[in-house]
Amino acid sequence: CPTNARHSAGYSPKHNTVWVCSNHFWNPFEFRRAVAHELVHAFDFSRAKLDETNCEHVACTEIRAWNLGGQCDLWTQSWNMMSEYPFGSAKQKCIRRGVHASLRENRHCSDSDVATRCTEKVWDRCFADYWPFTVAPDLDNRWRQSPYQPSSR
């Protein structure tokens, strides 16, 4: 991708395609977060009949992508969150900022008041939606027994 490209990754519902500018990432963790974010969009558009012109639909998939993608996790935003207490509200503020910025770039949702109103309307439902994961991303760890596999005991 050109170095002056506006975005490092994206999802096109029209073409059902995730694209990534790998030359825009300086470490594999940042790359993973961007891919995870875009795959949440792909999943949402595949599982539901989302209308990309409906700002509430777009707000919901953005809330889920920012929450599940990891861009607002404490360790990725620690410098920005140092003045925020409690940290849980800092993560939510980060997600809201990201969602608002994403909505403002959608030509159907570019009005700041519309973006804020739609985000608030769907926030509770979409922030609590972790599907296809079984728990909140910040509670996930590799040592938890999978609910889909029988215990080896």
Residues marked active site are found at 38
SS3 44: helix
Report the alpha-carbon distance of residue 125 to residue 31 in Å, rounded.
27
Report the alpha-carbon distance of residue 69 to residue 63 in Å, rounded.
10
Report the alpha-carbon distance of residue 96 to residue 121 in Å, rounded.
12
What does DSSP assign to residue 139? G
Report the alpha-carbon distance of residue 144 to residue 153 in Å, rounded.
14
SS3 18: strand
